[in-house]
């Protein structure tokens, strides 16, 4: 009897272990099962579907569908696209140094911006030139989509440094066009992460940083030291529209202003190898110089590490609008057939302990969309001095300045190349400009621009008209139209499309975009930054704060009431 009980007990234990083991293997079983299903479905389609399936396209769509369930930063790069990933990480590529895009008026690819000091600019290639052929090969679109066409021309322009080719372009002139040829030799192109730095006031230094590419910290250091030598006693770091990049480069830049050994970023992920931290490794350059950091809604990732860490350490006043909120870290994994997977492996946390990720991609709405973390669900953290800061929604500036809204009309003026074409026309009439400071778009110039707009029979999508139409349809459907018809007529009259009125009403922002485009033709990105600084609310506030030591100290200190409460 005891033997029988022992056998039963052993069997129960065995079955229990078996069930436990099965549960532990359930995830592996589900993976194997679904991979088998995917493979089987594809084989059945390939064999029995009435038409021949596009193998590569079908599998690619499946991969993209799988990745769409993660986040926008987890991406697959097949072999032919790996070079673009490396360029994004390093900021380097082999080519001629010229931005290009599809130009609908000619159904060709146009040069939109040669890079200062690079082969295209040095040879005399200009923005507005229409690419006809590269190395003797005609660049025509055929049945390609515009984006595919741009990719084809871009690939033709790039290549091994030291290789040469002839670029044939059509240059639009005032009353005619002419075909030009340039012999260009490719070289290693590196995007300049510091397009401009200088003294914006007598003793206020300014550095624009557009990305955190490899070795950008060295470019930043050079600019900072030169500004100190020129007499800078305070510094503005402009991270607006900076989408981020290397975390290591961000930490190195922070290190110029904070002591050695300070932990800046910690990373927490599912796997042990995805965890770690970054500390400052070197002696700083200046731990006392007053700092202001400019940010906006397009400042992300490494930009948020810099601005957030300097805020957490009470080392800088942050000015502008709330940042994007990307607290996710990506690494690359090699795949078969020379592909690469860029995958999110962890989240990063800055000195106060907060993570600034604004969106939880694991939690999606019923329609598949995702939303930012609401302020009510964010948590309070504290800076070194004890100031309150929050997680879950990017970096909130110490001084918030509302961003100007982007008028709808500007999008269409740019999309239809009207601003681009006017800048080309302006360059016909003004072969040279003395300086950025001397440039001003006159009222007469703007009148010429308006004439160009009208000559194109320009029309654009006005959201107010679309919404009014929708409201009118809904009122008719619900039976309210009869009593509100007069009000609708009055509103339609007020919202009637009036191009003259819109060009005058939005003249200030339109003129700013025209001026940026024109200045870039003569002085490249350096000039574009200088032009933007002519009328810059964020910059003026930063100069004001840095010029008032008492105000600067007050912002970085704990309010008296909060201090007493502790």
Residue 512: Cβ-neighbour burial (10 angstroms; 0-12, 13-18, 19+): middle
Task: Respond yes or no: is residue 312 known to be catalytic.
Answer: yes
301 flagged as catalytic: yes
Helix (H, G, I), strand (E, B) or coil at 216: helix
Question: Active site residue: 126, 326, 450, 541, which one?
Answer: 326
Cα–Cα dist 310/301, whole Å: 14
Q: Where are the alpha helices (DSSP H) in 49-193?
A: 55-67, 82-90, 119-123, 146-157
What values do phi and psi take at 474, rounded to 5?
Answer: -70, -40
Q: Is 534 a catalytic residue?
A: no
Q: Choosing from 154, 217, 246, 301, which is the catalytic residue? A: 301
What's the chain's length in residues?
566
344/360 Cα distance (integer angstroms): 13
Contact 363, 286 (CB under 8 A): no
Q: What are phi and psi of 268, to 5 degrees?
A: -125, 125
Count other Cβ atoms within 10 Å, centred on residue 326. Answer: 25
Task: Given the residues 71, 238, 312, 417, select the one marked as catalytic.
Answer: 312
Q: What is the Cα Rg of the chain in Å? A: 29
Tally helices (H) and strands (E) across the chain: 18, 21
Tokens read off for 489: 């007529």
**Please, which residues have CB within 8 angstroms of residue 345's CB and are 6 or more apart in sequence?**
269, 270, 271, 274, 329, 330, 331
Q: Cα(316)–Cα(310) distance, rounded to whole angstroms?
A: 5
Mind telling me the catalytic residues? 301, 312, 326
């Amino acid at each position: 009897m005891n033997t029988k009980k022992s056998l039963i007990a052993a069997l129960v234990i065995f079955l229990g272990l078996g069930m436990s083991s099965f549960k532990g293997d359930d995830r592996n079983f589900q993976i194997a099962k679904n991979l088998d299903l995917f493979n089987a479905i594809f084989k059945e389609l390939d064999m029995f579907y009435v038409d021949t399936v596009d193998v590569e396209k079908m599998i690619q769509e499946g991969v993209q569908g799988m990745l769409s369930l993660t986040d926008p930063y987890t991406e697959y790069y097949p072999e032919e696209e790996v070079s673009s990933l490396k360029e994004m990480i390093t900021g380097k590529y082999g080519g001629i140094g010229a931005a290009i895009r599809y130009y609908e008026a000619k159904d060709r690819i146009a040069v939109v911006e040669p890079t200062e000091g690079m082969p295209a600019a040095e040879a005399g290639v200009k923005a507005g030139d229409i690419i006809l052929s590269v190395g003797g090969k005609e660049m025509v679109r055929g049945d390609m989509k515009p984006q595919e066409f741009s990719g084809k021309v871009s690939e033709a322009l790039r290549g091994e440094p030291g290789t040469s080719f002839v670029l044939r372009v059509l240059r639009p002139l005032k009353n005619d066009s002419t075909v030009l040829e340039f012999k260009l030799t490719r070289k290693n192109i590196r995007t300049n992460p510091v397009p401009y730095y200088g003294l914006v006031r007598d003793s206020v230094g300014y550095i624009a940083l557009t990305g955190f590419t490899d070795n950008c910290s060295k470019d930043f250091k050079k600019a900072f030291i030169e500004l100190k030598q020129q007499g800078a006693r305070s510094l503005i770091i402009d991270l607006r529209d900076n989408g981020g990049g290397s975390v290591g480069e961000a930490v190195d830049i922070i290190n110029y202003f904070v002591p050695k050994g300070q932990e800046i970023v910690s990373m927490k992920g599912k796997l042990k190898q995805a965890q770690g931290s970054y500390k400052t490794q070197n002696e700083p350059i200046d731990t006392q110089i007053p700092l202001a950091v400019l940010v906006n809604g397009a400042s992300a990732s490494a930009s948020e590490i810099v601005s957030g860490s300097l805020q957490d350490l009470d080392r800088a006043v942050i000015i502008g609008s709330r940042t994007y909120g990307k607290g996710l870290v990506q690494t690359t994994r090699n795949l078969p057939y020379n592909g690469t997977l860029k995958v999110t492996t962890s989240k990063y946390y800055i000195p106060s302990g907060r993570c600034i990720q604004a969106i939880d991609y694991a939690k999606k709405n019923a329609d598949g969309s995702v939303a930012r973390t609401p302020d009510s669900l964010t948590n309070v953290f504290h800076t070194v001095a004890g100031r309150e800061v929050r997680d879950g929604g990017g970096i909130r500036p110490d001084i918030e300045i509302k961003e100007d809204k982007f008028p709808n009309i500007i999008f269409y003026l740019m999309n239809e190349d009207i601003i681009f074409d006017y800048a080309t026309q302006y360059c016909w009439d003004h072969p040279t400009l003395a300086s950025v400071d001397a440039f001003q778009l006159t009222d007469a110039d703007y009148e010429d621009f308006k004439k160009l707009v009208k000559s194109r029979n320009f029309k654009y999508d006005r959201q107010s008209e679309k919404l009014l139409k929708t409201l009118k349809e809904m009122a008719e459907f619900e039976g309210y139209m009869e009593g509100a018809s007069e009000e609708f007529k009055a509103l339609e009259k007020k919202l009637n499309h009036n191009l003259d009125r819109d060009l005058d009403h939005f003249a200030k922002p339109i003129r700013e975009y025209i001026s940026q485009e024109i200045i870039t033709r003569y002085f490249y990105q350096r000039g574009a930054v200088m032009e933007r600084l002519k009328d810059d609310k964020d910059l003026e506030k930063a100069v004001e704060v840095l010029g008032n030591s008492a105000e600067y100290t007050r912002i970085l200190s704990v309010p008296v009431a909060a201090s007493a409460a502790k």
